[in-house]
Amino acid sequence: MDLNTLWFVLVAVLFSGFFVLEGFDYGVGILLPFVAKTDEERRRVLNTIGPVWDGNEVWVLTAGGAIFAAFPQWYATLFSGFYLALFLMLVALIARGIAIEFRSKDKSPRWRQTFDWAIFGGSLVPALLWGVALGNLLKGVPIDSGHHFAGHFLDLLGPYPLVTGLATLALFTTHGAIFLNLKSTDPIRARALQVTKRVGPVATALVLLFIVTSYYWTDAFTRLGVNPGLVPILALGSLLTAGALIHRDQMGWAFVMTCLTLVLSVTTIFMSLYPRVMVSSLDPTWSLTIYNASSTPYTLRIMSVVALLFVPLVLAYQGWTYWVFRHRVSAETKLEY
172 contacts: CB under 8 Å, gap ≥ 6: 23, 24, 26, 27, 30, 127
Question: Residue 33: its pLDDT value, please?
Answer: 92
Backbone angles phi, psi at 130, to 5 degrees: -60, -40
10-residue stretch averages of pLDDT, the chain, 337 residues long: 92 95 95 93 94 90 93 93 91 94 91 95 96 92 91 87 95 96 93 94 93 87 67 88 93 95 92 92 92 94 91 89 89 81
Listed by start position, the domains of the chain span 3-324
Helix (H) or strand (E) holding 276: strand 276-278
Q: How far is it, in rounded angstroms, from Cα 149 to Cα 151?
A: 6
206 contacts: CB under 8 Å, gap ≥ 6: 163, 166, 167, 170, 171
Q: Which of 226, 236, 229, 227 is nearest to 260 (CA)?
A: 236
Structural fold of domain 3-324: Formate dehydrogenase/DMSO reductase fold (1.20.1630)
Question: Residue 180: its pLDDT value, please?
Answer: 95
Give the alpha-carbon dihedral of 52, 263, 165, 275, to 10 degrees: 120
Q: How far is it, in rounded angstroms, from Cα 187 to Cα 110?
A: 24
Question: Residue 13: its pLDDT value, please?
Answer: 94
Indicate the pTM of the whole model: 0.94
| Cis peptide bond N-terminal to 33, omega within 30 | no
What are the start-end ranges of the E strands in 11-152? none
